[in-house]
Structures are given as structure tokens and as C-alpha cells.
Amino acid sequence: LDGDTGYGNFNNVRRLVRDVLDFDVALSRPMTFDAGQFVVLETPDIAGGRAYSMVNFDRATGRLRLVVKEMAGGKFSQWLFGSDPSGRELAVFGPLGRATFHPEEGKDVLCVAGGSGIAAMMSILERAVREVHQPHDTEHQRQPRREQRVEAAEQDALQNGVHVRHRPVPLRSRNRRPR
């Protein structure tokens, strides 16, 4: 395996919806990872670990941001959602995984995800926007609306020879729970 074991603490735990948590893991030492990679988290309270993809992307970061969906019957999930894990220590093994984005390769990017699988895509998109679509200096300008920002990013990409097709498609899960 390519990973390394370190330690961290749960931090900034936020419940996004009933069954989804967003939290940071403050690392004991910096970690460098590629956009799209994941780590395995272990707590002394549960045998074995659970893999989660990072949402953020930074080099030599001291913080991992994760989004986790509660899984019925999952021991780690029950532990995580059953009480506030803030401040608790955990082992962090990683980074792992090869489904990564490298802008220097000059390849097109197509991200398809469902549910909490969007986590790795968010990391990939963060790196793509940061390194491929350099934002213009807008320090003294009003913040444009979302549609204007998307259009500006598409225009910038086309000027740099990157072909962008952006079309949000709403999807419904077949196994939606009744409300």
C-alpha cells in the first residue's frame, strides 16, 4: 500500500442533513495528497477502519475535510452519528487511491457521482478550478452571480484551449426513503 499512518482529531463537526456529516480532521502532521484520493479512519472504539474521500485539496495540509453519509448497520457510521465526535482522536492511514486528477496531463474532466460519492469529485473540481482556471483579480469588483461565474470560467477555459460542457442534470435516487 502507498499510505502512511498518522493521527488526527475530529474538528468542526456539522450535520448538513439528518444523515450527512461534514467535518475536518486536524492532522498531527501535514499530509500531501492528490485530488480524488481517500484515507482510512480508525478509532480505538471500533475494530477495523473506514475509507473516506477528501473534499478539500491542498498540498502539505494539516486539515482534511470529509463529508460522510450515515450507513444503516455500519459500525463506524453508528459510532460517528451516535454522539458528537468533536475532539476525539483517530488514526489516519493514507493517502490512498489512483482515481486522481493531474492538470498537467491536459486531459478533459468528467465528474459523475451520486450521494456522498461527490466528495472526491469536489476535491478534483477544487484543484481544476485552482490550477486550470486561474481566477481573475476581482478584489475591487462586486461578487458576480453564480451563473456569471460559471459562464466566465467556461469562457476562460475556452480561451486557454480547454473545452468545457457544463449542464447540471437533476437525478432522483430509486431508493429514496418516503418522507
**Would you state the pLDDT for residue 91?**
95
* 76 contacts 43 by C-beta, under 8 angstroms: yes
**Would you state the pLDDT for residue 12?**
95
Of 105 and 13, more confident: 13
pLDDT in tens, 15-29: 988 899 999 999 999
In the chain, the percentage of residues whose pLDDT exceeds 70 is 72
Residues 6+ apart with CB under 8 A from 96: 1, 2, 3, 37, 38, 39, 40, 51
Per-residue pLDDT band for 140 (boundaries 50, 70, 90) equals very low
Per-residue pLDDT band for 146 (boundaries 50, 70, 90) equals low
pLDDT in tens, 93-114: 999 999 888 888 887 777 887 7
**Rg (the chain; Cα; Å):** 18
Of 167 and 69, more confident: 69
**Would you state the pLDDT for residue 81?**
93
Judged against a pLDDT cut of 80, whether residue 138 lies above it is answered with: no
Mean pLDDT of 43-51: 91
* Integer Cα distance of 11 and 85 in angstroms: 8
DSSP strand pairing (61-69 vs 50-53): unpaired
**Would you state the pLDDT for residue 1?**
42
